[in-house]
Amino acid sequence: MSNGQIIIANFNSEVLKNNPLQDPFIRQLPIYLPPGYAESKQNYPVIFLLGGFMNGGIKLLNREAFSEAIDERLNRLMSTNIIQPMIVVMPDCFTYYGGSQYLNSSATGHYESYIINELVPYIKQTYRTAEPTKWTLMGKSSGGYGAMALGMRHADMFGNIICHSGDMGFEYCYQPDFPDTVITLEKHQGIVGFMKHFYHKVKKDGRDIQALNTIAMAAAYSPNPTEPCGIEFPFDLHTGAIRPDIWQQWLQHDPVHMLEDYQTALKKLNIFFDCGIRDECRLFAGARMLSTKMKALNIKHTYEEFDDTHRNTNYRYDRSLQFISDLL
């Protein structure tokens, strides 16, 4: 069996033009076409594969020693008939702060609209695609969050969600970073000073990434045009004390807290999510909360745990892709 083909489209986005961070609005869009696509007349299932924080788009095609890039994995799984042929779309939603959480924000840009209003219609118009029930949102970490959040809000456009180690249970995965971020921002006199430091520093350390992640999350969950850089933090920038009103804005984006409002939509979808029990970001706690609430609300889903950490777990794609392929 032949391998699939990678198309790299240069997509000119209208909704990302004039974004507040002046990030590129012409983005490379990798698209994996399955083996035999050119010769067939078949309509194919579609997966939108969303990258994690500081990842996504063409980076998903990177080859590393002793591991598979996503196209190599897809070729293997399709050539051995473990999964059926699919089209896989890999959006680039990277920002100056490292990521967008795939949301619309006045502080970063309209990345949810970019995917839903621009990329989905583009793929439908350009390629032979199956009906929406055979479209899947899939991702890991921030990409897993994006898959879950967008799936909840756009259940009419997708039929399936795959979420690997997705951001949820915000009080466990984000709050522990707040005190260190206070000190880091104080050291560099705020966001602007920190970002200059970050981009000029040759080797970024753990606290740098920790602060960057907190800034990116605040830009996604609590943008405020009246604040410096258009970002409001859910904690006091001197003491680190939680600001309940802003923290509540964050929780409105937490899948654990979103669940009740979108339970009707979720009952229409096939849902698979997992998490490692040694996840450094403690995401298994939120995943367990989500699964427990789904059971209470009679939302059918498959939740799995595995004995591993947050990183280097792309082997779990074999499991989730087979799960979705078998359902389709």
Task: pLDDT band for 67, please (50, 70, 90 cuts).
Answer: confident
265 Cβ partners below 8 Å, 6+ apart? 152, 153, 155
- Range with the poorest average pLDDT among 1-5, 134-138, 164-168, 220-224: 1-5
Question: Per the confidence metrics, is the pTM higher than 0.95?
Answer: yes
Can you list the domains of the chain with their CATH numbers?
5-169+257-327 (3.40.50.1820), 172-251 (no CATH)
Query: Which whole number is the average pLDDT over 174-194?
Result: 97
Residue 317 has pLDDT above 70, yes or no: yes
Summarised one tens digit per residue, pLDDT across range 90-134 is 999 999 999 999 999 999 999 999 999 999 999 999 999 999 999
Q: What is the pLDDT of residue 118?
A: 98
3-class SS of residue 19: coil
Query: Which whole number is the average pLDDT over 268-287?
Result: 97
Beta-bridge partner residues of 160 = 136, 270
Residue 1 has pLDDT above 70, yes or no: no
User: Which percentage of the chain shows pLDDT scores above 70?
Assistant: 100
Q: CA end-to-end span of the chain, whole Å?
A: 21
27 Cβ partners below 8 Å, 6+ apart? 10, 11, 13, 16, 57, 91, 92
Per-position DSSP letters for 258-291, written without gaps between them: HGGGGHHHHTTSEEEEEEETT-TT-HHHHHHHHH
Q: What is the pLDDT of residue 15?
A: 98
With both helix axes pointing from N to C terminus, report the angle between 206-221 and 244-251 in degrees, rounded to the nearest 10.
80
Q: What is the pLDDT of residue 115?
A: 98
Summarised one tens digit per residue, pLDDT across range 204-255 is 999 999 999 999 999 999 999 999 999 999 999 999 999 999 999 999 999 9
Number of Cβ within a 10 Å radius of residue 50: 32
3-class SS of residue 46: strand
Q: What is the pLDDT of residue 48?
A: 98
Instruction: Let me know the angle formed at the C-alpha of 322 by 321 and 328, rounded to the nearest 5 degrees.
Output: 90
Q: What is the pLDDT of residue 137?
A: 98
Contact yes or no for 310/165 (Cβ under 8 A): yes
Q: What is the pLDDT of residue 128?
A: 98
* Among the listed residues 135, 145, 47, the one whose alpha carbon sits nearest the alpha carbon of residue 102: 145
